[in-house]
Amino acid sequence: MSDAPNPEPAAIAPPTTESAAETPHAPVAQPHDFRQSSLLSPHQLRKLRAHETQFLNAVEARVGLFLRTEFPVKLAGIEITSYQKLTEGWAGPTHLVLFKAEPLRGVAVLEIPLNLGLTIVDRLMGGPGRVEPMTREVSEIEKALLDQIVQIILEEWCNNWASVKTLKASLLGCESSGRYLQTAPGHTNMLTVAMDVRLGECSGQMKLAIPYAALEASLRQLCGAEISGAETAAPVAPTPSKWNRSLDEVALAVTAEWQGLELSAREILHLKVGDVLQVHQHLAQQVCLRLGEQAKFKGRLGTVGGQWAVELTQSLKS
């Protein structure tokens, strides 16, 4: 029996001059939505963030006084997104409040997470503001109670735009899910203000969404004066003020006060430790700050870092 010849090794093709790694790849086209490109310039975004922070400070003060507890509200972000993407981000069940800000066109939406809304309701009913996580819908009675807080939030948002345009919010209704909610076409740009909120041990993120086209003119007016001034006038160097250094260590009493609470002599006689005096919520916006005996500023009451604070809103002429 003869041995079979060994098979010849397979031929290996010589390497080509251009390897696959060196072959340039054709550029891949990426989708881009030009409707949302550069809708807010960096200047407008900075201006709008400062403007909305004033709104959140006012909400923190008024709601905190209304609930008689701390209600920290922080700006989580501002963005412009499509209505379709916004509705896809609404977890259900939640509490969606539909409203109009006359005379602006379009329907705006305020989203309140379900657990946060029920915690607010518990506090309004005299509870400690603590509920177990649940997935049920808000009842009609709970909606009516929660509308008191919604009205405060929307009033403060409208008041914050009063220097640009007079707005009046009117409630249209509420929904528990955005799955079938169609208040605008899917491609409509919505200006969304996200707010981190905490009440007791419960925290959540409320979102206020307004059609961008309805607010665009007001936003331009808000930023227009500062933009035109920067383009036409050169910055003027401030004149350094003269200060008497011998007054550096002089202590000056700073007091904040507001008016409006009146009690009869009989009521004062029966006051005791633990009594709660109801203060009108509008008084928190009319705080007078005195330096010594002189009234120098007007401001509004709020909290910073868990401490009471007064935000200065107007300088008074002495």
Query: pLDDT exceeding 70 applies to what percent of the chain?
Result: 81
pLDDT digits (tens, 9 = 90+) for 286-317: 888 888 888 888 888 887 777 888 888 888 87
Closest residue by Cα to residue 170 from 157, 153, 152, 151: 151
- Tokens (6 digits) for 67: 């609930």
Q: What is the pLDDT of residue 183?
A: 85
Residue 127, φ and ψ in degrees, nearest 5: -80, 180
Q: Is the pLDDT of residue 3 over 70?
A: no
Buried b (16+ CB within 10 A) or exposed e, 255-279: eeebeeeeeeeeeeeeeeeeeeeee
Domain with CATH 3.40.1550.10 in the chain: 37-224
**Rounded to whole angstroms, how far apart are CA atoms 208 and 190?**
10
**Range in 19-23, 69-73, 260-264, 276-280 the model is least confident about:** 19-23
pLDDT confidence bin for 32, thresholds 50/70/90: very low
Q: Is the pLDDT of residue 171 over 50?
A: yes
Beta-carbon neighbour count of residue 112 at 10 Å? 24
- Specify the higher pLDDT residue, 216 or 31: 216
Tell me which CATH code domain 37-224 carries: 3.40.1550.10
Cβ–Cβ under 8 Å, residues 104 and 110? no
Q: Is the pLDDT of residue 9 over 80?
A: no
Return all residues near 198 (Cβ < 8 A) that are at least 6 apart.
71, 72
What's the rounded mean pLDDT across residues 223-245?
A: 59
Q: What is the pLDDT of residue 27?
A: 59
Element (H, E) at 66: helix 42-67
What's the rounded mean pLDDT across residues 222-240?
A: 56
pLDDT digits (tens, 9 = 90+) for 116-139: 999 999 999 888 877 777 777 788
Average pLDDT of the chain to the nearest whole number? 81
For strand 202-211 and strand 254-257, is the pairing parallel, antiparallel, or unpaired? unpaired
In sequence order, what are the beta bridge partners of 309? Answer: 302
